Chain A
């Protein structure tokens, strides 16, 4: 009796677990979007995607990684749509033939956050160049993503514009965490460091600790998001039709309105700007 029970139980458990390999739910119509952590961590996708799925019946599966990894994955054909924020890299992705066409979707901005004690004395500044120079002069700790993400690329371009060689300071006051935005902010909060972050992640981030925005409002800190269909001529498995539907919806009136309506604690995180400058 005991043996029978055990066997029956084990068989049931086994059947249940082996079924995990089967694609769950009836959603055979789905697309994979390679995207960035800021869009996921800010909660934007949680309100955006259900609306699209409800209208079209297409499920959207998001892989949220750094922009560099997202582009790499899309180049391998492991996604139907690329939705990231590093315009030069995106344009290269299209120029190299991996993507069909790039569309602007929305923007927000980057901010420099830092400890309240503000050892570099840059609080209230709206000049990114000057702020970064002061951080370098004060040798105040700065936590960098160091992961080839969109934010990291932006940060490197800012250091370059400020004329600071961060490579020389790596391991000293310049600390590359090599991880995502959230992990980098956790590290910055832990060691009282400055960091560059997109505003959406910052507003929705819950472990701010002693950190606050110290520099914002510089035109250089503009953060543009773009969306691209992965080229079906390169990868036959790309679901071009469904992917294009998603892109059209995103840059159409409904998607744009949903983006504009998304707020955390009354603050708008992303500003839709499709069609203004499609290329």
Chain B
């Protein structure tokens, strides 16, 4: 298979040449995924923390439910969001189908359970250390949650990165709700799917390498941020 060699060369050329179309596609990929991860964290982190520290009947059921939802099939999420946003669907009037917003919604649905489930575990472990102190100092509930989230922030960055990885690599949902429209909703993964269907395997693989490199960049940035912040926090 000479495609492998060609793919590496092509990936290098694509990156070095800063091809305008590629920049546009990469930009949209990152924007959609960042937005989805942000929305997911805004919803998922407080919920995860709440689930970690509160005790109520049915809590275990919720924990298992969110753990299960981490495995939501993207195609099913895409289909559900399509049916909601379709002109024939209940939210059709919003005219969101085949826009980046629709892709953000679909990815947020995929990522939120991951954020909830993982942050719940992280906060629960931390709470085991803190709970006695909270009780003896009679810390109000909301402040306890805020303190736990703040103290777990470095671990929670990794949680967010897990969500980022899931969203940025996902194709099944965004291709249904985004439609892979050139210059409008084409992202890295849908472009890879398109090139594969054209039989241009080398270009498809090259785009895959570029996607991997971008993800590497995001992870390096997060790691740098984390270690610098940690040094400052404990210095």
Contacts and interface: CB of A to CB of B under 8 A. Distances in A.
A204 interface: yes
Nearest to B182: A62
Contact of A206 (B100, B179, B200): B200
B50 interface: no
Nearest to B184: A61
Contacts of B181: 61-63
B196 A186 contact: yes
A17 interface: yes
Interface stretch (B8-16, B26-34, B209-217): B26-34
Nearest to A40: B194
Nearest to B37: A17
B198 A21 contact: no
Contacts of B31: 16-17, 19-20
Interface string A21-33: 1111100000010
Contacts of A17: 30-35, 38
A256 to B, nearest CB: 23
A78 B102 CA distance: 13
Interface in B15-59: 28, 30-35, 38
B121 interface: no
Contacts of A208: 199
Given A14-B38, A23-B99, A61-B184, A181 B197 contact: yes
A69 to B, nearest CB: 9
A119 interface: no
A278 interface: no
A2 B232 contact: yes
Contacts of B67: none
Contacts of B87: 76-78, 235, 237
Interface in A218-255: 235, 237
Contacts of A207: 199-201
Interface string B193-235: 0101111110000000000000000000000010011001000
Contacts of A20: 28, 31-32, 35, 100-101, 104
A162 interface: no
Interface of chain B: mostly helix, strand, loop or mixed: helix
B197 A237 contact: no
A48 interface: no
A2 B227 CA distance: 12
B71 interface: no
A234 to B, nearest CB: 9
A37 interface: yes
Interface string A92-120: 00000000000000000000000000000
B196 A76 contact: no
A101 B197 CA distance: 31
Contacts of B98: 32, 61, 63, 78
Given A2-B229, A205-B199, 9 more contacts: A2-B228, A24-B183, A37-B197, A40-B194, A76-B87, A77-B92, A186-B196, A186-B197, A235-B88
14 contacts: A17-B30, A18-B35, A20-B28, A21-B35, A21-B101, A41-B197, A62-B182, A78-B87, A185-B199, A186-B196, A204-B198, A205-B198, A205-B199, A207-B200
Interface of B: 28, 30-35, 38, 86-89, 92, 95, 97-101, 104, 179-184, 194, 196-201, 225, 228-229, 232
| Pairs of residues from A and B, 4 with the lowest C-beta to C-beta distance, nearest first | A182-B197, A77-B87, A207-B199, A20-B31
